[in-house]
Amino acid sequence: MLAGCNPWGGYNFAYLDEDTKRMVRRALLKAVAIPGHQIPFSSREMPLPYGWGTGGIQVTASIIGPADTLKVIDQGADDTTNAVSIRQFFTRTTGVATTEKTRAATIIQTRHRIPETPLRAGQIMVYQVPLPEPLRVLEAREVETRKMHAYQEYGLIFVRLYEDVVRYRKIATSYNYPVEVNGHYLMSPSPIPKFDNPKMHRSPALHLFGAGREMRVYAVPPFTSVVSLDFEDHPFEVQRWDQACALCHSRDSFLDEIVTDDRGGRMFVCSDTDYCSERRDEGDAS
């Protein structure tokens, strides 16, 4: 199943060599054992720049098998440059089936979104994480942040929320919103909108996070509690929109604002393209 599996030859199955994949999987096992805790791994150079998803690609490459079905999204869409390139990369190096359907996928690699369609047990979400350390903006010393995690000294993250309320009269952080995992570790959920935070709470799917440049992986195992931090008098809230999706008329999904002309015309559509088109197909059928 190794080199002979893909038509391009020369590369191992899923690009990384077997020892590297094993190393990443060992780190992932640790990560699953300690939910939300960042585990160091020796990140490899990948054939794309840092910031384009090197961490997520290494995680996917380490866990993917010939029987998997892969879905890749970027900003919720299956057809954007990054999503297309990463999907093509895995098609070439593994030959596995790809899909745009959330329900059909066994592995979903993502940058910004968790699909609107509820995840099920057995599915794996892989996140591309730029900055795994939620305390880094406030505390530059790695030794110190590790101690803060170990002793659960998380007062500092509330300083960040406090500054938000002072400046904007509410917690304005709208993405990468800090969460507490399994009652202990503070975790950065990567740049997903806070709209998606509640989807992680007790999710039946496995969530794996990979940060290539920062050389960290972490995980939220299935059915683990994920609580978004807040103040008692400024509780956590997700984004809401006044209108429904212009295409599928959904009122429950995360909407993107699209400028349609230079005279102020704009429309709001679902950011999750698969969810939107599925709803439109259903609408046509009925």
Active site residue ranges: 36, 245, 248, 270, 276
Beta-strand relationship, 97-98 and 255-259: unpaired
Residues 67-126 that bind another protein (CB under 8 A): none
Q: Is 234 in the site for another protein (CB under 8 A)?
A: yes
Binding segment for another protein (CB under 8 A), chosen from 3-11, 163-171, 254-262, 273-281, is 163-171
Phi/psi at 27 (nearest 5 deg)?
-60, -40
Please say which residue, 3 or 159, places its beta carbon nearer to another protein. Answer: 159
Please say which residue, 167 or 263, places its beta carbon nearer to another protein. Answer: 167
Q: Letter for the amino acid at 120?
A: R
Q: Looking at 147, 202, 251, 266, which residue binds another protein (CB under 8 A)?
A: 147
Binding segment for another protein (CB under 8 A), chosen from 178-186, 187-195, 228-236, 245-253, is 228-236
**Smallest gap from residue 223 Cβ to another protein (A):** 26
Name the residue with tokens 């999204």: 73
Measured CA to CA, the distance from residue 136 to residue 145 in angstroms comes to: 7
Q: Is 172 in the site for another protein (CB under 8 A)?
A: no
Binding segment for another protein (CB under 8 A), chosen from 6-14, 161-169, 211-219, 263-271, is 161-169
Q: Is 231 in the site for another protein (CB under 8 A)?
A: yes
Q: Looking at 2, 33, 121, 159, which residue binds another protein (CB under 8 A)?
A: 159
Please say which residue, 88 or 152, places its beta carbon nearer to another protein. Answer: 152
Contact residues for 109 (Cβ-Cβ < 8 A; gap 6+): 53, 56, 57, 60, 70, 71, 72, 73, 86, 126, 127, 128
Q: Is 162 in the site for another protein (CB under 8 A)?
A: yes
Q: Looking at 19, 45, 232, 284, which residue binds another protein (CB under 8 A)?
A: 232
Please say which residue, 133 or 274, places its beta carbon nearer to another protein. Answer: 133
Measured CA to CA, the distance from residue 285 to residue 76 in angstroms comes to: 24
Is residue 186 within 8 A of residue 11, CB to CB? The reply is no
**Smallest gap from residue 39 Cβ to another protein (A):** 21
Q: Is 156 in the site for another protein (CB under 8 A)?
A: yes
Q: Letter for the amino acid at 113?
A: R
Q: Is 131 in the site for another protein (CB under 8 A)?
A: no
Residues within the interface to another protein (CB under 8 A):
138, 147, 150-151, 153, 155-156, 158-159, 162-163, 165-167, 230-234
